[in-house]
Amino acid sequence: MISYLLRRILISLLVLIGISIVIFVMLHLISDSPGRVVLGPQASAAAVEAFNRENGFDRPLFVQYVDYVVQLLHGDLGRSYKLNEEVSVLFAQNAGRSAVLSLAGLVLALAIAIPLGILQAVRRNTVVDRAATGIAYLLYATPSFLVALLLIALLSQLVPLFPAEASQSPSPWVVFTDPRAMALPLITLALTNVVVFSQYQRSAALEQLGMDYITVARAKGAPERIVLMRHLLRNACIPLITLVGVMIPTLLAGNLIVESVFNYPGLGLLFLNSLHREDYPVLLAYTLIGGALTVLGNLLADLVVASADRRIELSR
Amino acid sequence: MNRPAPRGAVGAREQAMLTIRDLSVEIRAGERTVRPITGVDLDLTRGETLGIVGETGSGKSMTGLSIMGMLPTGSAITSGSIRFDGEELVGADPRSYRALRGRRISMVFQDSLTALNPTRRVGNQVAEPLLLHGLASRGQALRRAEEMLALVGIPRPSERMRDYPHQLSGGMRQRVMIAMALIAEPDLLIADEPTTALDVTIQAEILDLLGRLKEQLGMAMILVTHDMGVVARHADRVGVMYAGRLVETGPTRSLFRQTRHRYTRALLDSIPSLEQDRGVELHSIPGSPPDPAESVPGCRFAPRCAAATERCRTERPRLEGDGGHVFACWNPVTDATAAAPGRALARASAADASTEARLEVVDLVQEHPVSGWAPKGRRRTVKAVSRVSFAVRAGETLGLVGESGCGKSSLGRMLVAMDRPTAGEVRLEDAKVSGVRRRELAPRRAKLQMMFQDSGAALDPKMTIGTILREPLAIQGIGTAAERTERAIALLDAVGLGPSILERYPHELSGGQRQRIGLARALALDPDVLVADEPVSALDVSIRSQVLNLMRTQQRERGLSSVVISHDLAVVRYLSDRVGVMYLGKIVEIGATDEVYERPAHPYTAGLLAAVPVADPDAPAPDQAERVRGELPSPLDPPSGCRFRTRCPLATELCAAVEPVLEAVGAAHEVACHFPLQPKTGDATGASEPTPRPATEEAA
Amino acid sequence: MTTAHPELSEKTDVIVATATAARPLPVRAVLRALRRNPMAVTGASLLLLLALFSFAGPLLYPTNQTDVNLLDALLPPGEGYPLGTDPNGFDVLGRLMLGGQVSLEIGLLAAVFATTLGTVYGAVAGLAGGVVDAIMMRFVDVLLAIPFLFFVLIIAARFTATPLTLSLVIGGFSWLVSARLIRGEVLSLRVREFVQAARLMGAGDQRIIFTHLIPNTFGVIIVNLTFQVADAILVIAALGFLGFGLSYPVTDWGSQLSSGVAYITAGNWWLIYPAGLCIVLVVLGLNLLGDALRDVLDRRR
Amino acid sequence: ASKVDPSQYHTIPAASGKAVDGGVVTIAMTPGLAPNYIFPYPPAAANGAVIGNDLMWRTLYRADADGKSNADTSLASAPAYSDEGRTVTIAMKKNSWSNGKPVTAGDVVFSLAILKAAVAQSAANWAFYTPGQFPDGVTATAQGTDTVVLTLEKAYNPAYLESLLQQLVVIPSADWSIAASGGPVLDYTDPANASAIYTFLTGQSSDQSTFATNPLWQVVNGPFSLKSFEPTTGSFSLTPNKAYTGPGKHALERVDFKAFTSAAAIYNQYQAGTITVGRLDSSYSSKIEELRAKGYNVYAAPAPARSDPLVINFANTAGGFDKIIAQPYVRQALQHLVDQPGYIKSRGVYNGAASENYATVGLGSVFPPDFGDKALYPFDPKAAEKLLTAHGWKVDKAGTICEKPGAGSDRCGEGIAQGQKIAFTLASASSPSYVGARDLAFSSEAKKLGIDVKVVSKSLNYMYENYTNPGAPANTNEWAMQDSGPLVMASYPTANGVFNTDGSFNLGSYSNPEADKAIEASVFGSDPKALSAETTLLSKDLPVLFLPTPDNLIVWRSTLSGPPDTFEGLLKFIYSPEQWYFTEKQKQ
Ligand SMILES: Nc1ncnc2c1ncn2[C@@H]1O[C@H](COP(=O)(O)OP(=O)(O)OP(=O)(O)O)[C@@H](O)[C@H]1O
Ligand SMILES: Nc1ncnc2c1ncn2[C@@H]1O[C@H](COP(=O)(O)OP(=O)(O)OP(=O)(O)O)[C@@H](O)[C@H]1O
Ligand SMILES: [Mg+2]
Ligand SMILES: [Mg+2]
């Protein structure tokens, strides 16, 4: 276990370094003269040059990269000149809201998808299964922003149940304190994820249902409920853990769109606004964080899977 | 003989615990309806072991699952009755059925890896039936589970309780399965191929264990298997199934001695055994079993039966007979028609000792690094093959046997230069062929060919058979397109297939046909050396003999030097002139086939031979002392000295300290053992009887 | 005659011949199996319908999609404009056809680009094995860990989107999954016995790759391509929605939907839902077809 | 979308109702303009948008919406000129800082010193700076506490100078002339000290979390001081400065400025009734009745001194564009293709809420061009075609080409090759939506004459950073025209900086010696007519193409009242909440 853990962490670190290189290179391809970007069009060439010199942007790329990494290690994600603020501070202010929204959406999606997927597997090829699969196909084909717009049209405009705009309160806990205002964003997130998770869960459960140990459990005289809860559930959820880990970039992208449609002030909206402002330090820092989150998510997922399913460490 | 058998004749004996009558099952899958079992009658009395044998797909498992009331979704019992202890099970309500399962009727499955829940601890799984049926509190159940693990021979059961299934070896898992099935002390145990995935050595232990426990607990048992040897030794009565029907059933001795059904007879004749005359060709059953979705009016075996008449094809035979031995055959075997000896084979003359060695192996070593990161120098390696040397002469066939994981395949692949050895070399006619560049090897490449175990995987699914057979010629640039096709047809002919098959794709062929194509392709380049790795182990019994016969003919006719790898001792014996026994990457004994099989010199060889079940109920029970016990040690760090010492009943300190080398024990017979079972030639001390010591259960 | 059992060979031939009476080419067999698969039929019909709508539609229903019509802007569906007009006075129905052409073209181009790149990359990595493979795949891991939409957005915001650049950018980021898939496939094929058998016969790398590996990954590639098209269309839609889509005179469904969203408070539904429906249908069709194809090809394995 | 009648909302209701004390006014800030800086002289690097601009620190002279200095709210009385305008004497009025100290002449000198330090560090640090001009060549001395004397190297047009002094924020010399927290008060007349002070103050202003707590920022001379600031969004709250002595009753308890990310979000909040005052762009003009029904006053008008130019890049050499566009007749032809009345009418563009404008100074300026509101080059594709054919172009829908190259009155013009096409890229701001719509309409009209205008949608910031020739010369050939929305002139709307050859705002590298001369005359001369002459010349020469000016909607709760000009001021972001009051008691 320990050696597996170390190996996974080592690989994750390697990937992280790779990500930082890619993003660093990206930063330099996009805006080769930070001074110009920062000082704006009116600044004289000399001022730009001076700025670049002062901030070390004229040094060899490798040196700058090392610097960049050292900064990152100190938790310094750079500075948003456009917002006159450290990127880390901006993130600290926004991350809570996004994280709570994402996690709530994820938990909600899983809470629906896991039982639904298992139900579909157990009742495969029945009306229930076919209907759920059909809806999943349809929803999967619907871009999440369209889901959001349809929800607004239906649940906010046609039947005014929920507001069309997410809560604007700065508290990260609005999902719980103001659930009405967060209903539509949450439903959108949940719906778009449920279709992926439930179909995955269905096939995972189907595969497990075909395994002999399920038959063995029945042969022991276990009632169906116990077969499903005690034997199937855990094994059928293991692939889903990996999926959630792998899907983190998709989840982040989903958040981006939901935050944009519902005007929810979180990291996604910060990203979009920065995109319009061409605020590269923020953009790339968020991309970096997204990458790091993905790596971390994958690592965590692998570790959870490994501890849930001890076979992993042997097979690798 | 024409008179339909009265119902009662099926041997409905008194105090039958389980009575199955006219059981038929249907499975609907889409538009297809499969009838895996039709009209099966069975009886089982308390304390009895009923063996059910039959080829793949004959409905053995379905019968077992029907009794458990656990048929797969989409299937239904269409007719018949199953009475257990006077209670009708067909149509019983799910609750009362559940109360029966795991408590009064239990089941042991074949694949112990998937049959155990990978994410639950072994102890909990074993204890579960008691808890499910409310037979014990949690604490009691766990204690009972530990006792049960001890009972099935698991060392240090209290530690194993907390293990996960993957942490146990295959044999251990199978024991856990048995413990789980028996913990509630059921009246009936259904063991569905409980040992098929295991090595013979472990198979023997498990089957003995099952027999012992059955006695102890006074259960009845249904032992499902496709191995005639297993039933011969372990069953009281035997039922033979073919294509969903029970074709013959009777007391074991009677069934084997007075076999009546043509299929049973053919089956018995086609099994290579350790006793049979190697000079005589195996009997083989042509064709392959019918598609279970098709309904056949007459006897299902008729299309493959040499004695079939018109009646067989149109009228369905019923079970008849007496004394509990019944069979469904219109033209049963009588003493007069019984086994005519097979055709004799011309002994290959090329393979006499005078001929020079064609293929030579010198100190061959293969070590696979264990995947994963480790500092250089400290990398752990799997010692798959360790300093193996031997030679194969022209026209000679060398057999390699040994337990799973002992390095047979690794060795085989190096012989045909598919893998590079870590050390040592392979020489073909005095030219080095191992570890050389592809270019240097090129002229000899075609001379070294291999036949694979799973020809389904060894044939490119996207190519027609014609393309597959022409490919070697195309690669080597032999002949024109037309000539290649001609050659392909000739090859097909050689393996007993018609040219019509050229345009087909591999998936359109049966397993036996595919294996023949595999052989044909290996022969396409006229190789000097042919390595066959488990050539028939994926095939069913009735088809196996077809391929075996074919291989033997080809070996002889072409004067090939071949190496046949198999874990099946009978197969190796049938095909080889000489045989090498491998243990943990080493050859521990090598010699002329008859020598080795009749006078094994290494305790391991003797143990292996003792473990092979013989398809003869009268065969003497093998000597328990000769048994190989315990499990194969890890090839990561094999034991010092003699690698077999941890499982050897004769081992002494000497064995741990000094590694034995191959020494002659006969004219063409060598063994690597400090205490060989045969006197060493020219070595007086070696001939002395070693001190036998009691074997310990526990391998260090 | 070297045959071991002449009588045997004839018999087996008969038996097998009845079991598999017809011996079709795989392609035709796949097509036939697809024709019997309701998912495939639905998916293919949807695609055909939308392709016809986009490419043949303008022939039957020609509209002016270049000249802005200031006076007829933002008309609701009605006479002359079955789906109304947009803020520039373009007929929405006609614009949907134009958007369809562009969306489908970009989707296909991006998918072909991604699949080609991914296949080559994955195959090279899989075949090379060892350190090369490890390095190549770590690189894929790195890119895969970076949220793709973010990257595409940054690039799209920086450079002017044209159908070609969009396809390249989307393709340039979505080849990763194909690469992994093909590598996995090649890795498993590489150790498959039929490949080893070919090596045993002296086949060189080239032969192995072209006659054994590639034909056997073809199914996976095709299925992957289908999904890639669907995903690319969704990505274009998302880009368009976030305001980084194409601009006049070209348009795509996502951009249309996006420009419509600005008018959502005004109740101009015809600017949003028809384009949305088109996206849903085409992606649905592709996914259905892809899944059906995978089922059919899987079964043949 | 029904047509709107502009006459319905062109008047502001007079102040009415009885003022009740208290109440919180919530002001919606323009989307994307969230403030991030507190020190009133933000460096360029901060991309500063200053919190409560003008509400905490007042400028020396404070302009009204029409650009004239307001005698009541300014910190000094009107300047007196002598020595041919090279000496300017400014008398300070009696005002005090929130800590009780008086606002003195020294504070003005201090402010100028800091401004000089700022532009010395980077020319970009003050948006109104043209190197060599104000504050360069200006020496300020305090005569006593009440009089400031400015000595100029070269006399400016008084109106121009005053417009610059309207930008001079007066900051507290007694409290801010330090270079470290708790450090000694420095002599700010030493440029080195001034520079250190400036660095210190900007440094203090980079920590957003301390904006509301740093005692430095609590010293104000405006009507409000900062109560809280929400760095995430840029929203902030102001409380009345009790020591404030200017006009206004200060009835309100608090003023909240709320940041928004989209106009739609603001509109939603109006629907929900959670904001008191704010602006909407013209696309919401069809919603005026709805807003009124919800209890809001709506006033809409084009912002003063605003024009919506289609900026031309004269330096773009791609496709020979520079040579083509250098020809006045081409610019005229293109202007003939801009259908201003059509855009205004179209539901898809302005939906009636805009006005035609053909001058650089915008509508209703006190410095109008001599042709007035008239369109010199009205929408007339035929005229455009005629201009082109008359100059040797073969007009063809499939692609107009030059047939007669060379100089001469009936020829295409110098540098234009035979067979040359007219094809160029128009960068169009991605929001608000009318920008894209009008550019698209222009492009479509051009296409009919065989002129290929490729419209590319870009974010405003992107254009600012990449599509300005002096700032980003490398990108010159990427754009030929850009529509980045409004261009707003200072209260003395000279095109100095915008259209003079070396102007720092000369985005399109427009260069015309005559125009340079005219601009010089209006900046340094003393003739009040000079600016009209400049405007006339520029508007005729078309340094840009002119587009209609959209109305801005000012929306406020009908229970809020105050002098009408304080609401009109919102058009130019001039907030005077100290003069507002509620006419009904507000619920807490
Ligand atoms: N779920 C199922 N759906 C359709 N057909 C099935 C299903 N399960 C089994 N069959 C078919 O039923 C027949 C009998 O199967 P069964 O498993 O009883 O054979 P078996 O004798 O146990 O074979 P084996 O030795 O391979 O275990 C086979 O032809 C098989 O293909
Ligand atoms: N590529 C490999 N990497 C690591 N270990 C390997 C590799 N191939 C084989 N081994 C290990 O080498 C040992 C010998 O394997 P090999 O396949 O030669 O045995 P075998 O005798 O053919 O067994 P079986 O009867 O199961 O086919 C086993 O322990 C196996 O796990
Ligand atoms: Mg079975
Ligand atoms: Mg093997």
Three-state DSSP at B39 gives strand
pLDDT class for B553, splitting at 50, 70, 90? confident
Task: Judge whether D445 is closer than 8 Å to chain C, CB to CB.
Answer: yes
pLDDT tens across B136-152, in order? 999 999 999 999 999 88
Q: Which residue has the tokens 């488990």?
A: B534
Residues of A engaging C, defined by a Cβ cutoff of 8 Å: 11, 14-15, 18-19, 21-23, 26, 30, 137-138, 140-146, 149-150, 152-153, 248-249, 252-253, 256-257, 260, 271-272, 275-276, 278, 280, 283-284, 286-287, 290-291, 294-295, 298
Q: Which two tokens stand for residue D27?
A: 């002001």
Q: Which residue has the tokens 């615990």?
A: B17
Taking residues D240-254, what's their average pLDDT? 87
Q: List the 52-81 stretch of C: residues with Cβ below 8 A of A.
A: none
Higher pLDDT, A2 or A262: A262
Task: Judge whether D294 is closer than 8 Å to chain C, CB to CB.
Answer: no
Q: Going by CA atoms, what residue is nearest to atom 17 of ligand 1?
A: B61
Taking residues D334-363, what's their average pLDDT? 91
Give, in order, the Cα–Cα distances in Å from A248 to each of A75, A106, D398.
22, 10, 50
pLDDT class for D91, splitting at 50, 70, 90? very high
pLDDT class for D166, splitting at 50, 70, 90? very high
pLDDT tens across C28-54, in order? 777 888 888 888 999 999 999 999 999
CA of B226 to the centre of ligand 4 (A): 21
pLDDT class for B335, splitting at 50, 70, 90? low
Taking residues A108-120, what's their average pLDDT? 94
Nearest to A222 among B111, B115, B132 (CB): B132
Mutating which of B128, B180, B380 best tests the A interface, going by the most A Cβ atoms within 10 A?
A: B128
Is B27 touching ligand 1 by the criterion CB < 6 Å? yes
Q: Which residues contact D494 (CB under 8 A, 6 or more apart)?
A: D157, D160, D519, D522, D523, D531, D534
Please tell me the least confidently modeled range out of D146-155, D263-272, D410-419: D263-272
Give, in order, the Cα–Cα distances in Å from C3 to each of B532, B551, C12, D54.
20, 12, 14, 106
Three-state DSSP at D455 gives strand
Cβ contact B107–A216 (<8 Å): yes
CA of B568 to the centre of ligand 4 (A): 12
Contact B520, B205 (CB under 8 A): no
Is B407 touching ligand 2 by the criterion CB < 6 Å? yes
CA of B53 to the centre of ligand 3 (A): 10
Q: Give the residues across from B220 on adjacent strands.
A: B188
Please tell me the least confidently modeled range out of B79-88, B649-658, D280-289: D280-289
Q: Share the mean pLDDT of chain B.
A: 85
Taking residues B561-586, what's their average pLDDT? 92
Residues B687 and A118: their CA atoms lie apart, in Å, by 67
pLDDT tens across A186-241, in order? 999 999 999 889 999 999 999 888 888 998 999 998 898 999 988 999 889 988 98
3-state percent breakdown (helix, strand, coil) of chain C, nearest 5: 75, 0, 25
**Strands D147-152 and D138-143, how do they pair?**
antiparallel
**Strands D277-280 and D80-82, how do they pair?**
unpaired
Is B518 touching ligand 2 by the criterion CB < 6 Å? no
pLDDT of res. D53: 83
Higher pLDDT, B700 or C81: C81
pLDDT of res. B668: 85
Task: Judge whether D441 is closer than 8 Å to chain C, CB to CB.
Answer: yes
pLDDT of res. B605: 93
pLDDT of res. B147: 92
Mutating which of A13, A212, A316 best tests the B interface, going by the most B Cβ atoms within 10 A?
A: A212
pLDDT tens across B343-400, in order? 666 554 444 555 778 999 999 999 988 765 555 566 778 889 999 999 999 889 999 9
Confirm whether pTM is higher than 0.95: no
pLDDT tens across D421-466, in order? 999 999 998 778 889 899 999 999 999 999 999 988 887 777 877 8
pLDDT class for B338, splitting at 50, 70, 90? low
Statement: residue B276 has pLDDT above 80: no
Cβ contact B119–A314 (<8 Å): no
Share of chain B above pLDDT 90, in %: 38
pLDDT tens across C183-230, in order? 998 888 888 888 888 988 888 888 888 888 888 888 889 889 999 999
Statement: residue C127 has pLDDT above 70: yes
Q: C-chain residues within 8 Å CB-CB of A150? A: 276
**Alpha-helical segments (H) within B446-510:** 455-458, 465-476, 481-494
pLDDT tens across D520-557, in order? 999 998 888 899 999 999 999 999 999 999 988 999 99
| Upstream peptide bond of D432 is cis (omega within 30 degrees of 0) | yes
CA of A311 to the centre of ligand 2 (A): 19
pLDDT tens across A61-83, in order? 889 899 888 988 888 888 887 77
pLDDT of res. C24: 46
- Chains sharing 3 or more CB pairs under 8 A with chain C: A, B, D
Cβ contact B117–A213 (<8 Å): yes
Mutating which of A120, A218, A220, A230 best tests the B interface, going by the most B Cβ atoms within 10 A?
A: A220
pLDDT of res. C52: 96
Residues D379 and D386: their CA atoms lie apart, in Å, by 13
Q: How far is D65 from chain A (nearest CA, A)?
A: 27
pLDDT class for B682, splitting at 50, 70, 90? low
Q: How far is B582 from chain C (nearest CA, A)?
A: 24
Q: D-chain residues within 8 Å CB-CB of A265? A: 232-233, 261
pLDDT tens across D391-415, in order? 999 999 999 999 999 998 899 999 9
Q: A-chain residues within 8 Å CB-CB of C157? A: 275-276, 278
pLDDT of res. D149: 95
Share of chain D above pLDDT 90, in %: 56
Q: Which residue has the tokens 């003869």?
A: B616
Q: How far is C42 from chain A (nearest CA, A)?
A: 12
User: Chain centroid to CA C178: how far?
Assistant: 11
Q: Give me the total of CB pairs closer than 8 Å, taking one residue from chain C and one from chain D.
A: 71
Higher pLDDT, D150 or A316: D150
Taking residues B611-633, what's their average pLDDT? 80
Q: Share the mean pLDDT of chain A.
A: 86
pLDDT of res. B149: 92
Taking residues B572-601, what's their average pLDDT? 93
Q: How far is C198 from chain B (nearest CA, A)?
A: 8
Angle at D352 between CA D349 and CA D355, to 5 degrees: 95
Taking residues B566-590, what's their average pLDDT? 92
Q: List the 57-86 stretch of B: residues with Cβ below 8 A of A.
A: 68, 70
User: Do B and D touch, counting CB pairs below 8 Å (3 needed)?
Assistant: no
Taking residues A80-100, what's their average pLDDT? 86
Give, in order, the Cα–Cα distances in Å from D358 to each of D490, D540, D546.
18, 9, 6
Contact A58, D489 (CB under 8 A): no
A-chain residue closest to D260, CA distance: A263
Statement: residue B543 has pLDDT above 50: yes
Statement: residue C157 has pLDDT above 60: yes
Taking residues C88-92, what's their average pLDDT? 91
Q: List the 108-147 stretch of D: residues with Cβ below 8 A of C.
A: none
Angle at C34 between CA C30 and CA C39, to 5 degrees: 150
Taking residues A286-296, what's their average pLDDT? 91
Cβ contact A213–B118 (<8 Å): yes
